Amino acid sequence: MSQIDTEVNGSEEQEQPSGKLVDVSEAIRYRKRAQIAEQKKTVLEQTLAERQAEVERLNKNLSQMTVERQLIEKLVSAGVRDLEAAVIIGRSRLEGDTKATAADVVEQLRKEKSYLFSDGGAAAAVSTKTNGVKDRLSGATGTLERAAKKAANSGSRADLQEYLRVRRNFV
């Protein structure tokens, strides 16, 4: 070996023990980074726990709303008179008995509280249209269609003007 190789190898041997020692400023930096990472970890764990609690709460609300919707559908199809009262009673019975279904509760209500249901059959009676508000286009639609056909068939400018005048009332 040459003298240069010996010097290089000798200097490497001297650097190795000092290379294992970490500089104090770097150790402090690593320690601070580790502490910050631990703080972020705890914050993220708390956020995750809050989100999971929120998801559980929302799932519970969703299941309650689904059961209530089913109960309302069954009550309406059974011909209930007072929907709000029947829903309140039915919801309390469903909460009390976890094995009961909406159909079971409706049948039980029909037997025990028949005054909540109409006398005429199982199907709810559909009310007829009232005479309050008249449909705007019902009578005039025929007039508009006739004017349009007349203008299209004759090709007359007077008929076209008449059609546009009638149409202006509806558009």
Burial group, residue 96, by CB count within 10 angstroms (0-12, 13-18, 19+):
exposed
Tell me how far apart the alpha carbons of residues 10 and 6 are, in angstroms, rounded to a whole number.
6
Tell me how far apart the alpha carbons of residues 66 and 110 are, in angstroms, rounded to a whole number.
22
Q: What is the model's pLDDT at position 139? A: 61
**pLDDT, greater one: 2 or 36:** 36
pTM for the complete prediction? Answer: 0.47
Tell me how far apart the alpha carbons of residues 135 and 67 are, in angstroms, rounded to a whole number.
38
Locate the domains of the chain by residue range.
Answer: 46-116, 136-168
Q: What is the model's pLDDT at position 33? A: 95
pLDDT bracket for residue 123 (50, 70, 90): very low
H helical segments located in 21-135? 24-78, 83-96, 102-112
Q: What are the pLDDT digits (tens) for 7-29?
A: 545 444 444 455 567 688 888 99
Mean pLDDT over the full length of the chain: 81
Residue 82 neighbours by CB under 8 Å, 6+ apart: 116
Q: What are the pLDDT digits (tens) for 94-112?
A: 888 878 888 889 999 999 9
Q: What is the model's pLDDT at position 15? A: 46
